[in-house]
Amino acid sequence: MKTENSALNKTPKRRSASQWAVAWRRFRRNKAGVAGLIIVLAVVFVGIFGDFLAPYPAYPNLGALTPFNHGDVRTPPSLKYPLGTDVGGTDVLSDILHGTKYALYVGVVVTIITMAIAIVVGAIAGYFGGWVDNVLMRITEVFLVFPSLLFILVFVKVLTVGAGVGSSINFLGLSIPMGLTIVVLVLAIFNWPGDARMIRGEFLRVRELEFVEAERALGANNRRIIFRHILPNILSSIIVVASLTIAYAILLEAGVSFLGFGDVNTVTWGQILENNFSDMRIVWWAEVFPGLAILITVFGFNLLGDGLSDALNPRLRD
């Protein structure tokens, strides 16, 4: 049959079709996701430069009972102290700015550790199946059922009783507070089972896709299949979960610190809230604003996670 390809010849030039380029374009159109990204970037910026941006220097927070800044204890927001001072006399705004890096530290490290363990466990369980899968899933189930917060509190308390007061280790030139790190480790220990289940689910899903069978028929061994074929497909889910985990970790650390289990010497946002809790009636600004910082940061990461989810796993919106 003779074909007149007049219309076919008129096909418009195609834009870059790589998976990531497409996802980025989709992401750009998602206003909420972009807003989240902006917030996150802003927070990261403050985290890196917070120490320079803050009007007043950070002070080792020994229980926050020492008047620091010229004895201006418990002053409401004013020009000198834009967000007021707390019970110990420290400028709330500075505290918040200094605390940003801790929040990010918690969020990122918890997420990295959690993801690392979860991916390994999830991959093994999801890919190999059988009794290995069963055993691992039973373990994660137990973790899910019991009240993690309770265990977290106990672990943290027990581990920090022994740890020195105000100690920190030097890592790549940064001074990392021990107390906070303990909290981070404990949070990670109790967080990975949830993500492991999700990743295992993803592995199961992708494993059953036809192209995996095809690869196997072509002679690929297990390791190759896992690393070169399945993982890349799961990458988008992992990214989304990572973003949401960062949000969750920040929230959790704030809660743990607020209840008094945090590192008293590291002024995280939750710690500020703890210090001023009993005086809340008077220094309400010291309770409201740090919490607002938490809210905005977590909100940013959640928006980002949602936006990424929409962009990387497109559901039919129409």
Partner 1 sequence: MFRYIIRRLIYMIPVLIGISIIAFITMYAAGDPIALIKAGKPNITQVTLEGLKRYYGLDKPLPIQYLSWLSNILQLNFGNSLYGGRPVNDIIAPRIWPTIELQVVSLLIAFAISIPIAVQSARKPYSKQDVTITSLSLFGVSMPTFWFGLILIIVFSFSLGWFPSAGSQGVAGFVWWGNPLLDQIAHLILPVAVLVYVSLAQNIRLIRANMLEVLRSDYVLAARASGLSERKVVYGYALRNAITPALTFLGIALGGMIAGAPMTEYVFSWPGLGRQYVASTINLDFPTIMGITMIITVMTLIANLIMDILYVYIDPRVRIR
Partner 2 sequence: MTETLLKIEGLKTYFFTEAGVVKAVDGITFDVRKGESLGLVGESGSGKTVTALSVLRIVPKPGRIVEGKIEFNGENLLSKNEKEMQSMRGREIAIIFQDPSSSLNPVYNVERQLRDVLTAHEKKMSKEESHRKVLELMNLVGIPESEYRMREYPHQFSGGMKQRVAIARALALQPTLLFADEPTTALDVTIQAQVLDLLEDLKKKMGMSLVMITHDMGIIAKMTTRVVVMYAGNTYEIAKTEDLYEHPRHPYTASLLAAVPRLDRKKTLSIIPGNIPNLIEPPSGCRFHPRCEFATKKCEETPPVLEEVEPDHFVACYEWRNITLKGESSK
Residues at the contact surface with partner 1, assessed by CB under 8 A: 32, 141-142, 144-151, 153-155, 157-159, 161-162, 247, 251, 254-255, 258-261, 270, 273, 277, 280-281, 284, 287-288, 291, 294-295, 298-299, 302-303, 306, 316-317
List the structure tokens of 107. Answer: 């969020």
| Beta carbon nearer to partner 2, 5 or 170 | 5
Kindly write out the interface string for residues 8-47 of this chain, putting x where it contacts partner 2 by CB under 8 A and - elsewhere. Answer: x---------------------------------------
Going by C-beta distance under 8 Å and a sequence separation of 6 or more, which residues neighbour residue 20? none
- The total number of residues written for the chain in this structure: 318
d(Cα 126, Cα 149) in Å, to the nearest integer?
A: 27
**Which amino acid is it at 137?**
M
- Specify which residues 175 forms β-bridges with: 170
Alpha carbon of residue 61 to chain centroid: 25
List the structure tokens of 110. Answer: 């918890």
| Beta carbon nearer to partner 2, 10 or 70 | 10
**Which amino acid is it at 88?**
G
E strand or H helix at 286, and its extent?
helix 284-312
E strand or H helix at 194, and its extent?
helix 178-207
Kindly write out the interface string for residues 141-180 of this chain, putting x where it contacts partner 2 by CB under 8 A and - elsewhere. Answer: ----------------------------------------
Helix count (H) and strand count (E) of the chain?
12, 2
d(Cα 102, Cα 106) in Å, to the nearest integer?
A: 6
Least distance CB 11 / partner 2 (angstroms): 9
Q: Which does 1 bind (CB under 5 to 8 A by kind): partner 1, partner 2, none?
A: partner 2
**Which amino acid is it at 30?**
N
Least distance CB 313 / partner 2 (angstroms): 16
Going by C-beta distance under 8 Å and a sequence separation of 6 or more, which residues neighbour residue 114? 188, 191, 192, 195, 245, 249
- Candidates 15, 223, 281, 317: give the one binding partner 2 (CB under 8 A): 317
| Beta carbon nearer to partner 1, 157 or 205 | 157
Please identify, among the stretches 3-11, 119-127, 175-183, 237-245, the one whose residues bind partner 2 according to the rule CB under 8 A.
3-11
| Beta carbon nearer to partner 2, 1 or 161 | 1
Least distance CB 1 / partner 2 (angstroms): 5
| Beta carbon nearer to partner 2, 5 or 175 | 5
Please identify, among the stretches 6-14, 41-49, 100-108, 186-194, the one whose residues bind partner 2 according to the rule CB under 8 A.
6-14
Specify the residue for token string 């220094």: 283
List the structure tokens of 20. Answer: 């990531």
In the complex, which residues of this chain contact partner 2 (CB under 8 A)? Answer: 1-8, 317-318
